[in-house]
Amino acid sequence: MHSYLFIGLDRKRIDAEINKLVEKLGAKPLEFELAKIGQVRELQSFTKLKVDKPTTILIRNIDNATTEALNAFLKNLEEPQKNIKYILTTSSEYRVLPTIVSRCQIVKIESGKLKVENKKNTRKFLKASVGEKLKIVDKIRKREEAILFVQDLIITWHNLLINKECSSSTAQALKTANKTLVALNANGNVALQLANFTINL
């Protein structure tokens, strides 16, 4: 197998397993960002060069890439160079194009109990009415803060699913949160994304 897809929410555990794999393969690790078509072209320029030593190309959050970028990246997976292997990561298999998933060996990483950075803010949001939720997100202006806020909610809902302390709407809330996180990472308008996210919960 020349490509691997690591699935999970626990960054530390994923990194530990990736390090084990890289060591096992005896390969030199290189990390590439792959969100837009231009970055895929940069990667392809590199992979056209002859690589003499085993090399792993790590691409985090492959699900954040545009559809155009992913379709272009498929060629790398379909026609791999002998000494190059790909390691991709995602929080959910369902956020990745099936054509990408089918070309990878799946490695699922159990998350355990993940840490929520701002428990007070998260709990307040979850207990609030829609109107109160909108007031909470309206105070979030910075992209980094918005990303951390949504990530905390994803972790909270994920832990509820693990402990079976959730309602039938939790899975849909997770899907909505993941979609919002992708949009925020892709430079979507912070206020608009958070407002839409709250209304669609």
**Average pLDDT, whole number, for the chain?**
85
CA distance 160 to 183: 24
Average pLDDT over every residue of 118-125: 76
Q: Which tokens belong to 125?
A: 């949001």
Is residue 116 predicted with pLDDT exceeding 60?
A: no
For residue 78, what pLDDT band results from cuts at 50, 70 and 90? confident
Name the phi and psi angles at 60, rounded to 5.
Answer: -85, 150
Coil, strand or helix at 32: coil
Is residue 80 predicted with pLDDT exceeding 90?
A: no
Average pLDDT over every residue of 118-130: 81
Of 31-40, 153-162, 164-173, which range is least confident? 164-173
CB 184, CB 193: distance < 8 Å? yes
CA distance 24 to 181: 33
Q: Which tokens belong to 49?
A: 């060069």
0.75 surpassed by pTM: no
Coil, strand or helix at 179: helix
Q: Which tokens belong to 22?
A: 């890289």
CA distance 161 to 150: 17
Coil, strand or helix at 76: helix
CB 7, CB 91: distance < 8 Å? yes
Question: What confidence tens digit (pLDDT) does each residue in 170-180 have?
Answer: 778 888 888 89
Instruction: DSSP letter for 66, please.
Output: -
Q: Give the pLDDT of residue 137.
A: 92
CA distance 67 to 122: 31
Triad 51, 89, 197: Cα angle to 5°: 145
CA distance 137 to 150: 10
Q: Give the pLDDT of residue 22.
A: 94
For residue 163, what pLDDT band results from cuts at 50, 70 and 90? low
CA distance 7 to 93: 6
